Amino acid sequence: MPVRKHGQHMKLFKNKGKDETTLRRQRVEVSVELRKAKKDEQILKRRNISIHSKEEDPSLGQDRAAEIVQPSLEEIVEAVNGEDTQLQLLATQATRRLLSRHKDPPINQIIELGIIPRMVEFLGRADNATLQFEAAWALTNIASGTSEHTRAVVEGGAIPAFISLLSSPHMHISEQSVWALGNIAGDGPIYRDVLIARDVIPPLLALVSPATPVGFLRNITWTLSNLCRNKNPCPPLDAVLKILPVLVILLQHEDKDVISDSCWAVSYLTDGCNDRIQVVVETGILPRLVELMDCPDLIVMTPALRAIGNVVTGTDQQTQEAISAGALTVLPRLLRHSKSVIQKEAAWTLSNIAAGPSHQIQQIITCGLLPPLVELLDKGDFKAQKEAVWVVANFTTGATVDQVVELVRSGVLKPLLNLLLVKDSKTILLILDTISNLFLAAEKLGETEKLCLLVEELDGLEKIEDLQNHENDMVYRAALDIIEKYFSGEENINLEPQTGQDGLYDFSVEKQDFNF
């Protein structure tokens, strides 16, 4: 995991190696997932089933059903490979129909027929627009399947054919090609880069104009987003530089789907190294993204938040750009959003801002983020709570003493200590580190004793004591460390001489008021 740049304050803390991990975190910490794949993310590949779906409906009138005689697979192979254009069209249409049915399209069987190269040939039949269109549609749906399916289409030679069809005089053919290319690009970085190398971008961008119908524009935007998508490697810089200006325009569109996919595209472009973030920042798009982050529609808010979240994994300066664009004024609402996924993403974003220098932390306070943060720690869903813990951990690492006091005053301690019961070693360790940071601040103020009492009152002490039995070595040592440093010498503090007329024990330290 690349560790983000961090401020001077790191020097003040021990075990630096460990603390660095609490700073800026990119989205993907662990690439292996145990969970079900996320359902709410943007779709990678799509099948074209929207039109003519009635053809499959068995409840249709008999006359209609009779009109369409579905040939057998053998007949299809024969016709496609034959020379009769009419039969070619009927067979291609039949194939497309099979691939467009709602349930279980027989993609594997069609591939096994070996007719893909022939279909690719049909794409070049400028004389027969209908055949071109049917072949394009069928290939689109094959490419929408697994990686293996997509590969079959690519290896059939479809890429150059589709790219040249982008400039087809027939809009529906051009649109279908955009779709097919989107599916190919969505397969992963290899085919994406093959497309880019084949110069897919200029003809694609040429399709965007004020006159482009909304439906078509949605398809283009989605395909563009797939061209921006995926890492290892990320898309070539010159391609990105070509796409970005168009994305900036598309983000101003009024259609939600267009905006949503544009936001996703930006979120992919910002999900990487700081140089890439810089490229996006320089377009001046951040204020618009922040505005969209506040949009009531989940399909817009989610990718916009994601994009801003990615930006703040960048340098302090890049983070500052997001802050200046107003990100912190929107985040309080998102932390309180009814969807826990949004709460979680918002908290993740905030955690990276909190990893910044103290003047950025100050803006977190000024923008009123502490109350919703404390609420989230207290009542949020577990995943959101975990992110909230990161916020607090990063905050206490970089904040000034006054800022830490502000944090404690906002009531963070109680929910934080309660979370020590959580069944996740990493979170527990983060909380223990945070508590150590709080004590460091308290020591500077001469308020260690007061913090000790507060921790004990909130039942934190017994939880920390209990963690000395934790199976995880680092957790156990962190707990032990706190107990030894702050809670084992109770008597010495307690025993401080109280009288003092004789001057004998009159050197007790003047205590200031604990201002938490």
How far lies 484's CA from each of 443, 463, 477, in Å?
15, 14, 10
Whole-number minimum distance, CB 133 to other proteins, in Å? 39
Separation of alpha carbons 221 and 204, rounded Å: 10
Using the structure block, give the residue that is written with the tokens 């399909």. Answer: 299
- Pick the closest to residue 224 from 237, 248, 252, 205 (CA basis): 205
211 binding other proteins? (CB under 8 A): no
Separation of alpha carbons 269 and 197, rounded Å: 18
Whole-number minimum distance, CB 422 to other proteins, in Å? 7
Closer residue to other proteins (CB): 283 or 472: 472
Residues 2-41, interacting with other proteins (CB under 8 A): 11-16, 29-37
Closer residue to other proteins (CB): 168 or 397: 397
List the one residue from 444, 446, 512, 515 that touches other proteins (CB under 8 A): 444
CA dihedral 459, 465, 467, 473 (to 10 degrees): 150
Six token digits for residue 53: 């779906």
50 binding other proteins? (CB under 8 A): no
Whole-number minimum distance, CB 400 to other proteins, in Å? 13
Query: How many residues appear in the chain?
Result: 516
Separation of alpha carbons 420 and 151, rounded Å: 49
270 SS3 class: helix
- Pick the closest to residue 433 from 5, 21, 25 (CA basis): 21
List the one residue from 472, 477, 480, 483 that touches other proteins (CB under 8 A): 472
293 contacts 285 by C-beta, under 8 angstroms: no
Whole-number minimum distance, CB 498 to other proteins, in Å? 7
8-state DSSP, 2: P
List the one residue from 194, 299, 365, 474 that touches other proteins (CB under 8 A): 474
Angle among Cα 30, 32, 33 to the nearest 5 degrees reads 100
Query: End-to-end alpha-carbon separation of the chain, Å?
Result: 36
Separation of alpha carbons 193 and 481, rounded Å: 52
Whole-number minimum distance, CB 12 to other proteins, in Å? 8
Closer residue to other proteins (CB): 37 or 211: 37
**Binding span for other proteins by CB under 8 A among 207-215, 309-317, 342-350, 501-509:** 501-509
Cis upstream peptide for 233 (omega within 30°)? yes
Residues 6+ apart with CB under 8 A from 377: 385, 388, 389, 392, 412, 415, 416, 419
Whole-number minimum distance, CB 473 to other proteins, in Å? 9
List the one residue from 429, 435, 478, 482 that touches other proteins (CB under 8 A): 429
Whole-number minimum distance, CB 457 to other proteins, in Å? 4
Closer residue to other proteins (CB): 12 or 249: 12
174 contacts 166 by C-beta, under 8 angstroms: yes
382 binding other proteins? (CB under 8 A): yes
513 binding other proteins? (CB under 8 A): no
Separation of alpha carbons 438 and 430, rounded Å: 12
Q: What is the DSSP string of 228-245?
A: H---SSPPPHHHHHHHHH
Q: How many residues bind other proteins (CB under 8 A)?
A: 55
Six token digits for residue 23: 């700073």
Closer residue to other proteins (CB): 218 or 470: 470
499 binding other proteins? (CB under 8 A): yes
Whole-number minimum distance, CB 434 to other proteins, in Å? 16
238 binding other proteins? (CB under 8 A): no
List the one residue from 128, 164, 283, 340 that touches other proteins (CB under 8 A): 340
Closer residue to other proteins (CB): 86 or 494: 494
Whole-number minimum distance, CB 497 to other proteins, in Å? 6
**Binding span for other proteins by CB under 8 A among 134-142, 205-213, 222-230, 496-504:** 496-504
Separation of alpha carbons 24 and 274, rounded Å: 12
Six token digits for residue 310: 């990615």
Closer residue to other proteins (CB): 153 or 451: 451
What is the amino acid identity at position 358?
A: S
198 binding other proteins? (CB under 8 A): no
Whole-number minimum distance, CB 215 to other proteins, in Å? 35
Six token digits for residue 98: 């099979």
Closer residue to other proteins (CB): 65 or 440: 440
Closer residue to other proteins (CB): 155 or 490: 490
**Binding span for other proteins by CB under 8 A among 140-148, 193-201, 356-364, 449-457:** 449-457
Sign of the alpha-carbon dihedral angle for 257, 263, 267, 270: positive
Six token digits for residue 131: 């055949």
Closer residue to other proteins (CB): 29 or 127: 29
7 contacts 356 by C-beta, under 8 angstroms: yes
List the one residue from 66, 254, 492, 513 that touches other proteins (CB under 8 A): 492
Residue 265's Cβ-side half-sphere holds a number of Cα atoms within 13 Å equal to: 32
66 binding other proteins? (CB under 8 A): no
468 binding other proteins? (CB under 8 A): no
In the complex, the residues that contact other proteins under the rule CB under 8 A are 11-16, 29-37, 340, 379, 381-382, 421-426, 429, 444, 453, 456-459, 461-462, 466, 470-472, 474-475, 488, 490-492, 494-499, 502-505, 507
